[in-house]
Chain A
Amino acid sequence: MSMTDGGVMGLLSGRMSYLGQKLAVHAQNVANADTPDYKAKDLKPFAPFSQVLKETSSGMKVTDSKHIVPASMAGANADTKRARSYETVPSGNSVDLEQQMIEVSSTTLDYQATVSVYHKFSSFIKVAIGK
């Protein structure tokens, strides 16, 4: 397995960019917490782990830029979906600030965990190159 492209590093940077996007979506929700008819959004769950397994073992693989990429392998650019919300106020807004705060803090924690793993992994590489 390659250490940099598509392997652990690829998975970690994919997860970091996914969490960055997720925080951007929650920032939109919080900013529009009082906008009439605004519906809370969320990202679909991060699922490239199965893809990484698929890519490193058998199954379909993109080896040429002209290949059609199936939707399940389209990378970390996850689609937004309408979030499930606890309440919708009479103005038609479905943002629940408490729920958004929980999402924001869990996204931050996940990001910090991912950065820690990234850091650990880069120290492995340092060991391998003798630094």
Chain B
Amino acid sequence: MATSDLTSVMAVASSGLRAQSTRMKVVAENIANAATTPSAPGEMPYQRQVVTFKNEFDRALGVYEVKVSGVEKDKSDFIKKYDPSHPAADAEGYILTPNVKPILESMDMHEAQRSYEANINVIESARSMLLRTIDLLKN
């Protein structure tokens, strides 16, 4: 039936919105913590997080929704900087800074934004189709 198809459109698109906003949250955490350095030698700085998605079949609606499968740590190396005055500097005067690359985060943020807008667009389409159908009853 058309109406149940249109409501499943809303469910799928809102699962997309949820997934993209989780991704945006992780990007925000990364950017906010881009300069979170340790306070004593031997401690680890903030480790960048990466969000991963998976495709999940919703049996009730019969559609493939998107789910966040996990938020994992980025395995790349920390960036080493020479700063002997820093409280966390080791014997040679180096500190470990987070493995967050601002350009990468900004690209990821734009991609999340673009996907979010695309999902909104789908919801608006489904909404206008539903409204047109309801209008049939009016006159």
Residues of A within 8 A of B (CB): 13, 16-17, 19-21, 23-24, 26-28, 30-38, 97, 100-101, 104-105, 107-108, 111-112, 115, 118-119, 122
- Please name 4 further chain A to chain B contacts, defined as beta carbons within 8 Å, in addition to the given A16-B2, A30-B16, sorted by A numbering: A33-B118, A105-B125, A115-B135, A119-B135
Residues of B within 8 A of A (CB): 1-3, 5-6, 8-9, 12-13, 15-16, 19-20, 23, 52-55, 63-66, 111, 114-115, 118-119, 121-122, 125-126, 128-129, 132-133, 135-136, 139
Indicate if the CB atoms of B12 and A118 lie closer than 8 Å. Answer: no
Known: A27-B126, A32-B66. A115 touches B13 (CB 8 A): no
| Chain B hits for A34, CB < 8 A | 19-20, 23, 53, 66, 111, 115
B18 to A, closest residue via Cβ: A31
Kindly state the separation between the CA atoms of A24 and B15 in the bound complex, as whole angstroms: 13
| Chain A hits for B133, CB < 8 A | 16, 115
Chain B binding site: helix, strand, loop or mixed by DSSP? helix
B125 to A, closest residue via Cβ: A108
| Chain A hits for B8, CB < 8 A | 24, 27
Indicate if the CB atoms of B121 and A27 lie closer than 8 Å. Answer: no
| Chain B hits for A31, CB < 8 A | 12-13, 15-16, 19, 64-66, 119
Known: A17-B2, A31-B119, A115-B136. A24 touches B63 (CB 8 A): yes
| Chain A hits for B129, CB < 8 A | 19-20, 23, 108, 111-112
A126 to B, closest residue via Cβ: B139
Indicate if the CB atoms of A119 and B55 lie closer than 8 Å. Answer: no
Indicate if the CB atoms of B6 and A23 lie closer than 8 Å. Answer: yes
Kindly state the separation between the CA atoms of A53 and B133 in the bound complex, as whole angstroms: 26
Kindly state the separation between the CA atoms of A104 and B5 in the bound complex, as whole angstroms: 14
Question: Which residue of the partner chain, among B5, B128, B136, contacts A122 with CB atoms under 8 Å?
Answer: B136
| Chain A hits for B6, CB < 8 A | 20, 23-24
| Chain A hits for B115, CB < 8 A | 30, 33-34, 97
| Chain B hits for A21, CB < 8 A | 5
Question: Which residue of the partner chain, among A35, A37, A97, contacts B114 with CB atoms under 8 Å?
Answer: A97
